[in-house]
């Protein structure tokens, strides 16, 4: 593999600004009248929670780098201070757009269907009495008013909590005072008024009853506010980690007191009150890293914490939602009519099987694989990686049953899965109580690969490995929302590789050589660059050359440089990148053979699929890794080759379906902007997710003239 020379900064898009454009595409779904109304509200909620995480991690990290005078800049050359300025400008534009969308479009449209968020002043007497009774019985007993004066220091404000800043006057002496009241998270944010589908925000219920909290005082006014704190883990700052579980637990506790990186305030908050909040927050010990400035104060409309709007999307208005989606079973795992059910191991032993979630059933494929392994007396061992799992998954129960039955069960639980640390700590302890061998991964690396290995003694007496490798977590909730691909195989070489990988994760090993798997940090970067260079060599020799790569993010500068070189050599490159893309396509003489699409819609695009045409002998890989430095260098990742030509056809049509999308697809342009595709007048809409709901691999494409689907589908 030759060394890759990095292009100049002008050929890179800034990572953080690219992420903001992805979130802008999420917000666009809330603005798009073609999307059902409650789904639009869902996207507005997702936009808001995405932005929270962005500030807690990415902006917080940039603030620290700016304060410390970081000497290393990203490939695009922007300093931390320049990035922060650009972020603040773009975020203000997006927040203004979000608030207009909510108050001028979504809430009026919902009111037309009888769904209303009202103020206390708009309630009829009977509604007021109902809400007042709710306050007295359910809210008032748990509220704690906190005064701020020489005898009462400014209280601790928890991350993302909603609070009321209250201004009071003492009638006896006329002195004015300040107090804080926290809006309880344990109560529903939207308080029913007694009129069907009509709600009052909880903070307004509390605000209307502040006199009960401060008897004898005059309540002058109140405003809601909210803060975001630095919330990444700092394991890299610890010299030696002796007990990873204990260390992560301590770090999760400490981040409750991380520095404040953003202050959100309700519209109309007076400058003096904003200044008071800023001063008090900056006086806190946690702000020793970097003081909060006026630039980091965001004023929204009357509602903060818009992630809570997600609760309203569960209202019973089916006409305002996407039609229900029912996953199907892959044809390879179906039993014939009237025939007894076959063992999933018999199926996998005969041929490799691909599944595409959520279009294929997760519980009838992946969960079935683990459940059968747990119940099968011929299974000797089960090994699994858990990055994020859900409380309702059957996989954990099956693993417990297997351990109780005497099978060897080993699980790698990634404790550092961001914002799932507490959940994973609890799962790790639960699994250990069941007698399962639990490992926490390798120092300095996150285990992000999605792999399961079942060791079985087959009927002929041979020991065989059955494997599942994919792009998605073993999580039944996200399997209904994320698009992910998994491969079941009994390939001896892949099974041997997976055994080596698990031995690395649970024992002591410096394994770097693998037969078929592309594993990070061992060989993934090198192999991806080699595959790109091979296409480049084909193009230079005058042979057809093409790369199609689908992933969540493209950030790695070496890989981008290699793609630029491939384009210049004549390789046709199509990239389907859901989120961050730091490559600039369409630059003459540099990247004019590269096209970049982003698909945003009903399901979260999460699958990674890579095709290298290889002069007519195409190679396909699927797995867990994006093309980012963290995936190549700081995570344990696995890509697996899909070797069956029959499965190549499935992956090929899936990629082409994405590339032909004219409804959900956004094209990236050289200046870093995205433009959504729209069907031409003579075309019908080709929406990827709608097509995949009808055929999980996209083989049933709509007519380019009428947009209608064929009458007969393959049903795979």
| DSSP type of residue 531 | H
* Residue 241 pLDDT greater than 90, yes or no: no
pLDDT tens-digit profile of 71-98? 778 999 999 999 999 999 999 999 999 9
Q: What is the mean pLDDT of residues 128-150?
A: 91
Contacting residues for 488 by C-beta, under 8 A, at least 6 apart: 344, 347, 348, 352, 353, 354, 355, 365, 369, 466, 467, 468
Q: 197-209 b/e with 16+ CB inside 10 Å = b?
A: bbbbbbbbbbbbb
Q: For tokens 């059957």, what's the residue? A: 394
Confidence of residue 301 (pLDDT cuts 50, 70, 90): confident
Does the structure show a pLDDT above 50 at 702? no
- CB count in 10 Å sphere of residue 58: 18
For 677, residues 6+ apart whose C-beta sits below 8 A from its C-beta are: 661, 662, 663, 665, 666, 667
Whether 10 shows a pLDDT value over 60: the answer reads yes
Q: Which residues contact 532 (CB under 8 A, 6 or more apart)?
A: 547, 559, 562, 563, 566, 612
pLDDT classification of 440: cutoffs 50, 70, 90: confident
Q: What are phi and psi of 316, to 5 degrees?
A: -85, 75
Please give the average per-residue pLDDT across 262-291, as a whole number. 85
| Burial of 246: CB neighbours in 10 Å, binned 0-12, 13-18, 19+ | exposed
Q: What's the rounded mean pLDDT across residues 55-60? A: 91
Q: Are 283 and 154 in contact (CB under 8 A)?
A: yes
Query: When comparing pLDDT for 620 and 416, which is higher?
Result: 620
Look at residue 226 in the predicted model and tell me its pLDDT.
95
- Given the residues 356, 448, 538, 689, the one annotated as active site: 448
Can you give the pLDDT at residue 250?
59
Confidence of residue 257 (pLDDT cuts 50, 70, 90): low
Residue 607's pLDDT is: 97
pLDDT attached to residue 337: 55
Ranking 203-217, 234-248, 403-417, 656-670 by mean pLDDT, the lowest is 234-248
pLDDT at 705: 37
- pLDDT level of residue 148 (50, 70, 90 thresholds): confident
Above 50 in pLDDT, residue 714?
Answer: no
Which tokens in the block code for residue 525?
């970067």
Two tokens, residue 399: 């693993």
For residue 240, the model assigns a pLDDT of 45
Burial label for 328, CB within 10 Å (0-12, 13-18, 19+), is: middle
According to the 3-state scheme, what is the secondary structure of 211-242? Answer: HHHCCCCEEEEEEEEEEEECCCCCHHHCCCCC
State pLDDT tens for residues 399-437.
889 999 999 999 888 776 555 666 667 777 778 888 888
Token duo for residue 640: 């697996």
Q: Give CA–CA dist 249/425, Å, rounded.
A: 8
ω into 358 cis (within 30 of 0): yes
- In the predicted model, what is the mean pLDDT of residues 296-317? 94
Q: What was the pLDDT predicted at 420?
A: 60
Which pLDDT tens digit goes with each residue over 469-504? 999 999 889 999 999 999 999 999 999 999 999 998
Res 256: pLDDT:
63
98-112 tens-digit pLDDT: 999 999 999 999 999
Cα 400 to Cα 373: distance, rounded to the nearest angstrom: 12
Ordered domains of the chain (ranges, CATH) = 109-314 (3.30.1840.10), 341-506 (3.30.870.10), 523-694 (3.30.870.10)
* Res 564: pLDDT: 97
pTM, full prediction? 0.91
Under the banding of pLDDT at 50, 70 and 90, the label for residue 707 is: very low
What is the pLDDT at residue 431? 81
Inter-axis angle of helices 15-31 and 37-54, nearest 10: 160
Report the pLDDT averaged over residues 363-367.
94
Query: Average of pLDDT values for 290-313?
Result: 91
Q: Is the pLDDT of residue 670 over 90?
A: yes
| Res 254 pLDDT > 70 | no
Q: What is the pLDDT of residues 504-537, one digit of tens each?
A: 888 766 778 899 999 999 999 999 999 999 999 9
CA separation for the pair 393, 412 (Å, rounded): 16
Distance CA 191, CA 202 (A): 6
When mean pLDDT is compared over 230-234, 248-252, 261-265, the highest value belongs to 261-265
Q: Say which range, 130-139, 411-420, 630-639, has the weakest mean pLDDT.
A: 411-420
| pLDDT of res. 713 | 36
136 Cβ contact partners less than 8 Å away, ≥ 6 residues apart: none
Q: Which of 199-208, 336-345, 399-408, 594-603 has the lowest mean pLDDT?
A: 336-345
- Is position 448 annotated as part of the catalytic site? yes
In sequence order, which ranges of 14-160 are alpha helices (DSSP H)? 15-31, 37-54, 60-68, 80-100, 107-111, 125-134
């Amino acid at each position: 593999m030759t060394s890759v020379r990095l292009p100049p900064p002008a050929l890179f898009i800034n990572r953080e600004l690219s992420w903001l454009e992805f979130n802008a595409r999420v917000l666009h779904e809330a603005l798009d009248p073609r999307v059902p109304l409650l789904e639009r509200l869902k996207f507005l909620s997702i936009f808001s929670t995405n932005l929270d995480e962005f500030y807690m991690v990415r902006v917080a990290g940039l603030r620290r780098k700016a304060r410390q005078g970081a000497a290393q800049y990203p490939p695009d050359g922007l300093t931390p201070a320049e990035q922060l300025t650009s972020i603040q400008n773009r975020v203000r534009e997006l927040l203004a757009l979000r608030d207009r969308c909510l108050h001028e479009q979504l809430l009026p449209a919902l009111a037309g269907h009888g769904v209303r968020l009202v103020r206390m002043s708009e309630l009829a007497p009977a509604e007021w009495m109902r809400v007042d009774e709710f306050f007295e019985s359910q809210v008032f007993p748990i509220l704690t008013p906190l005064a701020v004066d020489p005898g009462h220091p400014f209280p601790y404000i928890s991350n993302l909590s909603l609070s009321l800043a209250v201004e009071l006057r003492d009638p006896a002496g006329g002195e004015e005072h300040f107090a804080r009241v926290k809006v309880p998270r344990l109560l529903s944010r939207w308080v029913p008024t007694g009129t069907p589908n009509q709600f009052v925000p909880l903070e307004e219920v509390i605000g209307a009853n502040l006199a009960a909290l401060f008897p004898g005082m005059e309540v002058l006014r109140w405003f809601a506010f909210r803060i975001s704190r630095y919330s990444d883990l700092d394991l890299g700052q610890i010299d030696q980690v002796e007990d990873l579980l204990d260390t992560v637990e301590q770090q999760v506790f400490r981040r409750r007191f991380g520095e404040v990186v953003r202050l959100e305030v309700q519209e109309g908050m007076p400058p003096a009150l904003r200044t008071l909040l800023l001063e008090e927050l900056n006086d806190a010990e946690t702000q020793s890293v970097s003081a909060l400035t006026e630039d980091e104060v965001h004023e929204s409309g009357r509602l903060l914490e818009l992630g809570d709007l997600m609760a309203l999307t569960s209202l019973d208005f089916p006409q305002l939602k996407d039609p229900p989606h029912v996953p199907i079973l892959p044809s390879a795992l179906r039993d014939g009519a009237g025939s007894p059910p076959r063992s999933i191991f018999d199926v996998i032993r005969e041929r490799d099987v691909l599944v595409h979630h959520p279009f294929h059933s997760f519980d009838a494929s992946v969960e079935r694989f683990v459940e059968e392994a747990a119940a099968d007396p011929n299974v000797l061992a089960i090994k699994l990686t858990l990055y994020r799992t859900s409380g309702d998954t059957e996989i954990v129960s099956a693993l417990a049953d297997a351990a109780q039955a005497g099978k060897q069960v080993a699980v790698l639980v990634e404790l550092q899965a961001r914002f799932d640390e507490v959940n994973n700590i609890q799962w790790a302890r639960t699994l250990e109580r069941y007698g399962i061998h639990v490992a926490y991964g390798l120092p300095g690396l996150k285990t992000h690969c999605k792999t399961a290995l079942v060791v079985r003694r087959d009927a002929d007496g041979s020991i065989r490995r059955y494997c599942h490798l994919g792009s998605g977590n073993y999580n039944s909730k996200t399997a209904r929302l994320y698009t992910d691909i998994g491969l079941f195989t009994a390939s001896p070489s892949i099974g041997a590789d997976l055994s080596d990988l698990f031995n690395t994760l649970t024992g002591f090993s410096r394994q770097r050589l693998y037969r078929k798997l592309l594993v990070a940090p061992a060989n993934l970067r090198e192999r991806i660059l080699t595959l790109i260079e091979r296409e480049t060599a084909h193009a230079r020799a005058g042979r057809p050359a093409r790369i199609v790569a689908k992933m969540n993010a493209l950030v790695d500068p070496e890989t981008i440089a290699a793609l630029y070189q491939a384009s210049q050599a004549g390789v046709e490159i199509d990239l389907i990148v859901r989120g961050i893309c730091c490559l600039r396509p369409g630059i003459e003489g540099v990247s004019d053979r590269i096209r970049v699409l982003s698909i945003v819609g009903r399901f979260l695009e999460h699958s990674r699929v890579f095709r290298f045409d290889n002069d007519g002998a195409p190679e396909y890989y699927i797995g867990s890794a994006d093309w980012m430095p963290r995936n190549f260098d700081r995570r344990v990742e696995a890509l697996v080759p899909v070797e069956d030509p029959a499965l190549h056809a499935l992956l090929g049509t899936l990629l082409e379906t994405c590339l032909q999308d004219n409804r959900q697809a956004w094209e990236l342009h050289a200046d870093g902007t995205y433009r959504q595709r729209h069907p031409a007048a003579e075309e019908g809409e080709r929406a990827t997710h709608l097509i995949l709901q009808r055929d999980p691999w996209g083989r049933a494409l709509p007519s380019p003239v009428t947009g209608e689907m064929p009458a007969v589908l393959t049903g795979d």
